[in-house]
Amino acid sequence: MNVFITGTDTGAGKTHFSAAVLRACGRRGVAAIGMKPVASGAEQTPAGWHNEDVAALRTAAPLAAPDADINPYLFALPASPHIAAAAAGVDIDVALIEAAYRRCAAQADVVVVEGVGGWLVPVTADFLVADLAARLDLPVVMVVGVRLGCINHALLSARAIAESGRPSLGYVANVVEPDLQALPAVLETLERLLPGPCLGVINWRDEESLAQAAEALVAILTAPPGGP
């Protein structure tokens, strides 16, 4: 099964978790590819344009794929894709993204597609991240960046995902503010109010909790049809 990873906002930890899922696939011997259809924010290097998210997915994936399929669109401006594309004088072609995804899916057992920003970020002027997940017909996992204000962001995002009709495989709580006051109460509130399951609570820079959450998702993605 393939999956679309979205987040409550920029910096929620989508890449952090997506790369961990790819590494977990590698440990299980699962042929997996990571894909970032659109990445905004790149710098010029002697080897060409570089984006940290794309590089992280490429490095973590056990199966190689052409750069043009892993990341069809890369923009220098760190902004919403429709704004970054306009600044670069580029029209994003969703059909091109879908074709790249189909090529990845044809050779992999699992494709981890990481969105950009949050669920309702515009990819083009009239096509949202939510529309991209629907176009690729993927179930969704939401990464909650646990920080001040995250309860509202998480509940709004979960409601929007449900209203879009996309199936949800659960969420991950990524504690990006470890000094957040009343952290246990925040986590309890998320677990009580969000549609589950909670695949794991990732403590910032704790590789064990990250690996456990990733393994929980890979178990779902690789379960036999009709299995648990």
For 5-14, what is each residue's pLDDT tens digit?
999 999 999 9
| pLDDT number for residue 13 | 94
For residue 46, the model assigns a pLDDT of 82
Assigned domain for 54 exists: yes
Q: What is the mean pLDDT of the chain?
A: 95
- In three-state secondary structure terms, 168 is strand
- pLDDT of 58-91, one tens digit each? 999 999 999 999 999 999 999 999 999 999 999 9
49 confidence band (pLDDT: 50, 70, 90)? confident
Give the total number of structural domains in the chain: 1
pLDDT tens figures, 197-207 = 999 999 877 89
Structure tokens that stand for 186 in this block: 């925040």
pTM over 0.85: yes
Query: Closest by alpha carbon to 197, among 228, 222, 227?
Result: 228
User: Could you give the CA distance from residue 225 to residue 156 in angstroms, rounded to a whole number?
Assistant: 31
Residue 150 lies in a domain: yes
**Residue 48 pLDDT class (50, 70, 90 cuts):** confident
Structure tokens at 102: 């189909």
Three-class SS of 5-39: EEECCCCCCHHHHHHHHHHHHHHHCCCEEEECCEE
Q: Is residue 228, in this structure, part of any structural domain at all?
A: no
pLDDT of residue 220: 96
pLDDT of residue 1: 96
Q: At 32, list the tokens.
A: 């997996």
**What pLDDT, on a 0 to 100 scale, did the predictor assign at position 226?**
67
If you compute the radius of gyration of the chain from its CA atoms, what whole number of angstroms results?
Answer: 17
Q: Are 76 and 88 in contact (CB under 8 A)?
A: yes
CATH number of the domain residue 121 falls in? 3.40.50.300
Active-site entry in 23, 36, 58, 166:
36
Its domain, for residue 112, covers 3-221
Tell me the pLDDT band of 227, cut-offs 50, 70 and 90. Answer: low
Q: 226 lies in a domain?
A: no
Catalytic (active site) residue 14: no
Q: Which residues contact 76 (CB under 8 A, 6 or more apart)?
A: 41, 42, 43, 44, 49, 84, 87, 88
How high is the pLDDT of residue 35?
98
Would residue 13 count as lying in a domain? Answer: yes
Which burial class, exposed, middle or buried, applies to 46 when counting CB atoms under 10 A from its CB (0-12, 13-18, 19+)?
A: exposed
Residue 183: pLDDT over 80 = yes
227, part of any domain? no
Q: Would you say residue 121 has pLDDT above 70?
A: yes
pLDDT of residue 108: 98
3-state class of 21 per DSSP?
Answer: helix
- Residue 162 belongs to some domain of the structure: yes
Q: Can you tell me whether residue 62 is helix, strand or coil?
A: coil
- Determine, yes or no, domain membership for 68: yes
